[in-house]
Amino acid sequence: MVTIRKNFGVLLAAGLLAVTAQAAPAAEAVQIERQSWPFAGFFGTFDRAQLQRGYQVYTEVCASCHELKRIHYRNLAQEGGPEFPADAVAALAAAAEVQDGPNDEGKMFKRPGRLSDPLPTLYANEQEARSIHNGAYPPDLSLMARARNAENVAPWFIHPFLMLRDIAVGYQEGGADYLHALLTGYEETPPEGVEVMEGMNYNTAFPGHQIAMVNPFGGGDGQVTYADGTRPTVENYARDVAAFLSWTADPRLEERKRIGWMVILYLVITAGLLYAGKKRLWSRLGGH
């Protein structure tokens, strides 16, 4: 009996230790400013116009170095995304040259793109990409908004036993906040005493602060021309492309939220019916 209790104590201590160790904030956490996003929260949905602008920024600025392998032309027209008109997307696809094959003679051939094709790719493999970019690898951006996060202090219910500690955790829109911070975080002159390595650029949001990617918005405000009257500023470019990449990383966000609400409604109605049924049954049995 004693040994069991002792072991339990050890287990509990080990468990607590594990929780504390895991929850300890990273030594050199980078402060990322929280932004407000239209797709945040229970009712949040993507802003179509913003996603369309983000796609424009992506194609005009990022697509010369980065790929979006998981996105197909048809996704650009589908519900819950930028919802470009289907005929415009079909024309866009048709303008692309896609390698297909082999044909009856065993040869590969080029044909106009179709809605079912992925967006154009740039590199045959990672090695090729690195050899073009001085050894650095511009990662595929499809899931980037999910692969990165920002740190936030956990709400009290996540750490009820450790109320006095600040525990850093990720959050739903952390990826978008990080992308926005990264794209607006370039500084021409690094802080005093910091030496930027050859071929690197100083960035306030990037872990370690030295990134191989040059500032994609080095052209400053006006680098991209928006057709819908949105102000052409680096701030807006960064925000719009971060929103667009949040959609590529989670194209079913809207559908998921809608289904969530339907399930809650269903549960509320079912609870009401069960309660009414229970009252009827007991009124007959007990005569109350």
Binding site for ligand HEC (CB under 6 A): 57, 61-62, 64-66, 133, 136-139, 141, 144, 148, 179, 182-183, 206, 211-214, 216, 241
Q: How far is the CB of 66 from ligand HEC (least distance, A)?
A: 5
Q: How far is the CB of 65 from ligand HEC (least distance, A)?
A: 3
Residue placing its CB nearer to ligand HEC in the complex, 49 or 63 = 63
Which residues are CB-contacts of 72 (< 8 A; sequence separation ≥ 6)?
Answer: 115, 116, 117, 118, 119
Q: How far is the CB of 2 from ligand HEC (least distance, A)?
A: 52
Residue placing its CB nearer to ligand HEC in the complex, 100 or 187 = 187
CB–CB of 167/19 below 8 Å? no
CB–CB of 119/67 below 8 Å? yes
Q: How far is the CB of 103 from ligand HEC (least distance, A)?
A: 35
Q: What is the dihedral of CA 196, 202, 204, 209, to 10 degrees?
A: -50
- Tokens, residue 47: 């802003």
Residue placing its CB nearer to ligand HEC in the complex, 75 or 184 = 184
Residue placing its CB nearer to ligand HEC in the complex, 19 or 136 = 136
CB–CB of 222/60 below 8 Å? no
What is the chain's length?
Answer: 288
CB–CB of 214/182 below 8 Å? no
Residue placing its CB nearer to ligand HEC in the complex, 150 or 159 = 150
Q: How far is the CB of 25 from ligand HEC (least distance, A)?
A: 19
